[in-house]
Structure 1
């Protein structure tokens, strides 16, 4: 009962999930993103960038709609550095105030798939758009570029890159690169490529290195994720 599609704003993805049965537990893998989420039970929430998998519990009948903002975009939408949201799920009211969110609540509940993207787009316009550095660093990290080379590419020394990355992504470029490499490896493995070949293609030393890295970040080995 999970679906996603392009949201039409800043490269974001709009996802929906409905739980018609009993309590459901799912594993959400880290991806460098920040999500604006509406829950039919919990209201408006913000899911910060995770360093490891987050175990989500959905109640019977609960409906979720989320706007997944690409790495580096969240701070411009929410008005806080990403590292203040790292590994956290917080009510939107904690960031924008009770009255501001109360004024939004009825409108969002009536049509969250339309209102969440519109809300993010308006916040981005007011902020002058996302920090352009975020897209450059994220693209390089997703391509597996070494951190020193990323720093040189964006004309920052490594310490400055680390500081800016924490504000944009919630963690430094090394962690972002590691997370995005895991995502790339799992996407490739899901096409049927053997794990040993996936490891070589994605820059791991060997299959054992891939397995250790996935276990550290996802909490389970890649075979468990692929089976699920």
Structure 2
């Protein structure tokens, strides 16, 4: 069973996935977010996805996660989002091993592991706010997300934060892992799936979410989720990630 609740971290969500038998397959959809996870007994970072991420349960243990709002991940993890794009890596790959070990020890002795994840994320966000080289970066990321969710074009989103499109592209790579155009597609997909999941017809969902028509919606679902929309809406996608690997820097495609 999958459950989630609003986090004490602004804009974040705490979620949990009950243990599933080893070998269980899941599908994690792109959402513009980065997650801090306690998965298979290990602290893991889930980078921003550009496409559906297939997962296979290895140990059959419960999973706890803190899903940070779009743009917040780099301020918590201390790396640019594009460095972790489409990846799952051990937290020790981006934080000092001693810090990760101490965090793991705190979680092991905690009655509420999710609360420990929230506390460390809050602390790192406060530290980043005090030490940020660009104090405007967090507000800029939030403004871009808000504009794109409202259907603004990349040109309008850039103008709204007083940047050129080229400047916005670089900022988006750092904050979200990909450019504003890809982010807009991901956010629109999430909005559309919420509408469809609430019982709206596919044609009505496509119209309300800003697609040209139902065929356009179906093509985007297939491109980003990897399966037809009718298949996607049957099962509940799982949040747990796949096997951790090592981070590699990537440019926006």
Query: Given the two structures, how large is their TM-score scaled by the length of structure 1?
Result: 0.95
Partner secondary structure for residue 192 of structure 2: helix
Equivalence map 1:43-122=2 (5 Å) = 43-111=42-110, 112-122=113-123
- Among candidates 111, 133, 137, match of residue 144 of structure 2: 137
Instruction: Kindly state the Cα deviation for residue 87 of structure 1 after the two structures are TM-superposed.
Output: 0.3
Q: Is the 8 A contact 1:16 1:66 kept in 2?
A: yes
Structure of greater relative contact order (alpha carbons < 8 Å, 6+ residues apart): 2
Equivalence map 1:146-225=2 (5 Å) = 146-225=153-232
What do you get for the CA RMSD once the two structures are aligned? 1.3
Give the Cα–Cα distance (whole angstroms) in 2 for the partners of residues 61 and 202 of structure 1.
Answer: 36
CA deviation map 1:172-209 (0-9, x unaligned)? 00000001101111111111111111111222121111
In terms of mean alpha carbon deviation, does 44-53 or 192-201 score higher? 192-201
Q: Is the 8 A contact 1:19 1:59 kept in 2?
A: no
Give the Cα–Cα distance (whole angstroms) in 1 for the partners of residues 27 and 189 of structure 2.
Answer: 15
Give unmatched runs, 5+ long, in structure 1: none
Instruction: Kindly state the Cα deviation for residue 21 of structure 1 after the two structures are TM-superposed.
Output: 3.3
In terms of mean alpha carbon deviation, does 54-63 or 6-15 score higher? 54-63
Give the Cα–Cα distance (whole angstroms) in 2 for the partners of residues 180 and 38 of structure 1.
Answer: 25
User: Structure 1 residue runs of 4+, over 4 Å off?
Assistant: none
Give the Cα–Cα distance (whole angstroms) in 2 for the partners of residues 100 and 158 of structure 1.
Answer: 38
Q: Compared with structure 1, are the counterparts of its residues 60 and 93 closer, same or farther at alpha carbon in structure 2 (3 Å cutoff)?
A: closer
Give the Cα–Cα distance (whole angstroms) in 2 for the partners of residues 109 and 117 of structure 1.
Answer: 15
Give unmatched runs, 5+ long, in structure 2: 131-136, 236-253
Give the Cα–Cα distance (whole angstroms) in 2 for the partners of residues 11 and 181 of structure 1.
Answer: 18
